[in-house]
Amino acid sequence: MDLLQASVNDKYLALARTVRHYLMTRWLETERRQTELQSKAVAYLSAEFLLGRQLDNSLLATDLEEIAAESLQGLGIELDELRTVEVEPGLGNGGLGRLAACFIDSLATLDVPSIGYGIRYEYGIFKQTFVDGRQVEQPDNWLELGSPWEFPHPEAAVTVNFGGHTEKTADDDGREVSRWVPGWSVEGVPYNYMVPGYQNGRVNTLRLWSARATKAFDLQIFNAGDYTEAVRAQTFAENISKVLYPEDSTPQGKELRLQQQYFFVACSLRNFIEDVLPAGYDLHKLPERITFQLNDTHPVIAIPELMRILIDERGWNWDEAWDVTNQVFAYTCHTLLPEALEVWPTSLLEKLLPRHLEIIYRINKDFLARVRETYPGDEMRARHMSIIAESPERAVRMAYLATVTGSKVNGVAALHSQLLRDKVLKDFSDMEPEKFTNVTNGVTPRRFVRLANPGLSGLITEAIGDGWVTDLDRLSELEPLADDSGFLSRFREVKAANKARFADVMEARDGIRVDTGTMVDAMVKRLHEYKRQMLKVLHIVSLYEQVKSGALPIEKVTPRTFVFGAKAAPGYRMAKEIIALINAVGRTVNDDPAMQGRLTIVFPPNYNVTLAEKLIPAADLSEQISVAGKEASGTGNMKFALNGALTIGTDDGANVEIRELVGDENFFLFGMSEPEVERVVSAGYEPASFYDKNAALRRALDLIASGAFSDGRRGEFEPIVANLLEQDRFLVLADFQSYMDAQARVDTAYADQDAWTRSAVLNVARTGFFSSDRSMRDYLDRIWHAEPVSIDVSSMQG
């Protein structure tokens, strides 16, 4: 094609294909090496991989950025323009999906043989728009222009069965065996994605499955002459990988969701056993070759699936199969909210996976026998620990199934793992304490520092060399520079440049103006009551109210830009009301001349990985304000700290570890601790008493209720106000004053820019621990016990 006629997308595709071609040699070599060595690998099973844009990351991993930029320039093309046309694959909801993406990046960089398994959703997380300040969801058609990063392998499709019934027969020795007679099936087509390590020649694989109708199924119906029925069947099959469920934390017992889970897990196990392992491999030795890491409960149906394969397809006896299954799975829990623990009604399993249900019953029977043996006469305990819940309906508790079966169970931050042991999974931890461990989450420094923050990266590299990119603990070498005024002023220049870049992005993306002279105060995460965006709103409304009533002179207000980014689950009413309130407060405050632009609220719609990469490096203040004991870890908190934002936060999730590392003087702690929360709640929390006692809080809430942000319509935000006064499950009102006090300390600290910058530098220097490379080493030591395998690049060409 003529360059003159090429669209920007054509040029982007041409560059992407060039880079991927370069990576392919390494990909093949990685695979050849693995086939040769047959060493132990890790399979990360996850329903979500929130990858973000691929071009930048691939250019970094291959070290081709400079040469690409130069050659493009010779053709009169700007690399920067090409970067921005890439649509990010949003195949995840939030933290859990992004964590999976960080982990596979680190595994590749650490040279660990590993493979990610998941679902190739045709539509990722919905695109968020605002209509009159309210969230409206649009489908995310990320494949519209095609993706140059995926490699479909229709020839390697595998069949997955569903439905039908089981039949009891006897084997040669007269033992009863069960046989699954499935009712229908679909095919899974693997799409492979390259996962390049950072400049080390290794390219691992992410294998995502796409569903289609089976040929046999098609033919059968076409031959019967029912053309429309056959087409309908195809659509039915393709539905399975059609769309990512946008619910996080409140699982709905939807049949399609269970179909998705079993679909990708069945494809993945079959693929590993039949295609990755050599032909004829003795599965008794499976634990020498693989750990299947279960990312939350979404892939837990893999447990009965492996049992079924070993028993029904390979003819093993139960104990043999159980012994192997026990060793190859490990389970990561990512939540503390009881309502987020997945349960599947036995009626649904019976209909969709009848043989798996039988296997689960048998696992439970053996397990309960062990419980009764350990605790004779303690029937209550047995009932509590049963994998099968009896009410409100008979259902399988997937977290219990994973805990009982897995070789290890881990939480995702120190506090979270402790709470799992002490509360959520206490009985299990009492019975098998050695099973429980912690691995604190981490984030990849390649994407979230090196790529997202080139300015800071350059500064760091100048000071300590570039080894930090793969050894983030070396950031500690920056510590002495926190007292070097020259370094501090350059650090400040970088922050200023990042704010300018963020302002440009906001202008171009949404037509929003950002004043780069203000403190950037950011709260970005899914909208959830426990995360307490409402507390942030009350802070803003209270400041606004104080200025309007004359209690606070406007000159005394630290100029801030409050940045929100948050999607609400489409069916989560209260979350959507809170989004509407944030936008309403934003409109009123931003338009009020009395504010003189000192307090500005910006809420760009559709916050995603791409926007995160621009916002985080520009932020001064990171809001991590969940009620203590509810946020399992958080990972945004780590990204902000590593980019030199100071945290205002509760003692929750990984905030605890961040504060320990950066020191109390460089962190704004507020709010009740987890034990305090527990005490207040069990004593019978009365939110209205805080409203009665606290004038500032009362005025803020009254202002919202008065219609001041809704053109005088008093009822508009009534559900929010009533909920806070009557229920307030997450103790927003109880923590209000403490939060306001901490924000006052923020203002004081920010007024001394030298001291603030010093704290920011110390945040960077002291948070190297939060590299996902460290997380991966912890998993390797405590759970996986696999070894790195280096790839020899000397023989390879570009």
| Beta carbons of 453 and 619 less than 8 angstroms apart | no
Q: What's the CA gap between 259 and 701, in Å, rounded?
A: 45
- Size of the chain in residues: 798
Site track 635-654 with ligand 26V (rule: CB under 6 A), x = hit: x-----------------x-
For ligand 26V, the binding residue among 190, 634, 644, 687 (CB under 6 A) is 634
Q: Please classify residue 21 by burial: count the beta carbons closer than 10 Å to its beta carbon, then call 0-12 exposed, 13-18 middle and 19+ buried.
A: exposed
Catalytic residue among 20, 421, 450, 531: 531
Annotation says 748 is catalytic: no
Nearer to ligand 26V, 344 or 691 (CB): 344
Residue 365 appears among annotated catalytic residues = no
One of 127, 356, 639, 774 is an active-site residue; which one?
639
Of 126-134, 357-365, 400-408, 628-636, the window that binds ligand 26V (rule: CB under 6 A) is 628-636
Shortest distance (Å) from residue 130 CB to ligand 26V: 23
Judged by beta carbon, residue 121 or residue 142, the one nearer ligand 26V is 121
Among 334, 539, 560, 659, the one annotated catalytic: 334
Alpha carbons 481 and 470: distance in angstroms, whole number = 21
DSSP-derived letter for residue 443 is: B
Span near ligand 26V by CB under 6 A; candidates 102-110, 150-158, 248-256, 424-432:
248-256
CB of 96 to ligand 26V, least distance (A): 4
Q: Tell me, by CB under 6 A, how many residues bind ligand 26V.
A: 22
Q: How far is the CB of 363 from ligand 26V (least distance, A)?
A: 22
Opening angle at CA 140, ends 138 and 143, nearest 5: 150
Q: Name the phi and psi angles at 521, rounded to 5.
A: -115, 110
- Nearer to ligand 26V by Cβ, of 586 and 634: the residue is 634
H/E stretch holding 118 reads strand 114-119
Contacting range for ligand 26V; rule: CB under 6 A; set: 60-68, 243-251, 286-294, 736-744: 243-251
The upper half-sphere exposure of residue 167, i.e. CA atoms within 13 Å in the direction of its Cβ, equals: 7
Window contacting ligand 26V (CB under 6 A); options: 261-269, 310-318, 476-484, 626-634:
626-634
Q: Is 652 or 716 the residue whose CB approaches ligand 26V more closely?
A: 652
Choose between 93 and 588: whose C-beta lies nearer to ligand 26V.
93
Coil, strand, or helix at residue 233? helix
Q: If DSSP codes are grouped into helix, strand and coil, which group holds residue 711?
A: coil
Contacts of 270 by beta carbon, 8 Å cutoff, 6+ apart: 158, 309
Residue closer to ligand 26V, measured from CB, 113 or 442: 442
444 token code pair: 């990849």
Can you tell me which of 12, 142, 209, 245 binds ligand 26V, judged by CB under 6 A? 245
Picking from 29, 189, 47, 203, the residue whose alpha carbon sits closest to that of residue 114 is: 203
635 is catalytic: yes
State the catalytic residue, choosing from 635, 647, 650, 757: 635
Query: Measured from the CB atom, is 111 or 140 closer to ligand 26V?
Result: 140
Cβ 42 to ligand 26V shortest distance, Å = 17
CB 487 within 8 A of CB 462: no
> Residue 524 and residue 519: Cα distance in Å, rounded?
16
**Least distance between ligand 26V and beta carbon 411 (Å):** 9
- Annotation says 650 is catalytic: no
Q: With CB under 6 A as the contact rule, which of the stretches 168-176, 308-316, 633-641, 643-651 interacts with ligand 26V?
A: 633-641
* Among residues 247, 427, 510, 678, the one that binds ligand 26V under rule CB under 6 A: 247
- Annotated active-site residue 308? The verdict is no
Site pattern 267..296 for ligand 26V (x: CB under 6 A): -----------------------------x
Left (φ > 0), alpha (ψ -120 to 50) or beta: where does 349 sit?
Answer: alpha
Window of 247-255, 539-547, 553-561, 613-621 that interacts with ligand 26V by CB under 6 A: 247-255
Q: What is the DSSP string of 538-599?
A: HHHHHHHHHHHTTSS-GGGSPPEEEEEE----TT-HHHHHHHHHHHHHHHHHHH-GGGTTSE
Eight-state DSSP code of residue 202: -
Query: In degrees rounded to 5, what are phi and psi of residue 516?
Result: -70, -10
* Residue of the chain from 440, 633, 763, 767 that contacts ligand 26V (CB under 6 A): 633
Q: Which residues in 433-462 contact ligand 26V (CB under 6 A)?
A: 441
Give the distance between the most distant pair of CA atoms in the chain. 90
Which residue among 127, 212, 308, 334 contacts ligand 26V (CB under 6 A)? 334
Task: With beta carbons less than 8 A apart as the criterion, state whether 576 and 134 touch.
Answer: yes
**Closest residue by beta carbon to ligand 26V:** 95
* Cβ proximity to ligand 26V, 30 vs 626, nearer residue: 626
Contact present, 739 and 670 (Cβ < 8 Å):
yes
Q: Which residues contact 150 (CB under 8 A, 6 or more apart)?
A: 120, 191, 192, 193, 208
Which of these is catalytic: 26, 212, 525, 528? 525
Based on the number of CB atoms within 10 Å of its own CB, is 370 exposed (0-12), middle (13-18) or buried (19 or more)?
Answer: middle
Is 530 in contact with 631 (CB distance < 8 Å)?
Answer: yes
Question: Residues 50, 107, 632, 703: which binds ligand 26V (CB under 6 A)?
Answer: 632
Tell which positions 75-134 bind ligand 26V, by CB under 6 A. 93-96, 99
Among 340, 575, 661, 703, binds ligand 26V (CB under 6 A): 340
- Least distance from C-beta 336 to ligand 26V, angstroms? 8
Which residue, 416 or 598, has its beta carbon nearer to ligand 26V? 416
Q: At its nearest, how many Å lie between ligand 26V and the CB of residue 338? A: 12
Bond preceding residue 392 cis, omega within 30 of 0: yes
Backbone angles phi, psi at 115, to 5 degrees: -140, 135
Q: Which residue is catalytic, options 298, 408, 526, 539?
A: 526
Q: Could you say whether residue 735 binds ligand 26V (CB under 6 A)? A: no
Distance of closest approach, residue 127 Cβ to ligand 26V, in angstroms: 18
Instruction: Work out how close the CB of 723 gets to ligand 26V at its nearest, in angstroms, rounded to a whole number.
Output: 21
Please, are residues 309 and 325 in contact by the beta-carbon 8 Å criterion?
no
Least CB distance from residue 435 to ligand 26V, whole Å? 19
Distance of alpha carbon 27 from alpha carbon 112, whole angstroms:
14
Catalytic (active site) residue 334: yes
Closest-CA residue to 625 (of 695, 703, 538): 538
Give the sign of the dihedral formed by CA 475, CA 477, CA 480, CA 483.
Answer: negative
Instruction: Round to whole Å and give the CA distance between 12 and 79.
Output: 9
Q: Crossing angle for the helix pair 485-510 and 753-766, nearest 10 degrees?
A: 90
**Residue 634 Cβ vs ligand 26V, minimum distance, rounded to whole Å:** 5
List interacting residues with ligand 26V (CB under 6 A). 93-96, 99, 245, 247-249, 251, 296, 334-335, 340, 412, 441, 631-635, 653
Q: Which residues participate in catalysis according to the annotation?
A: 334, 525-526, 531, 635, 639
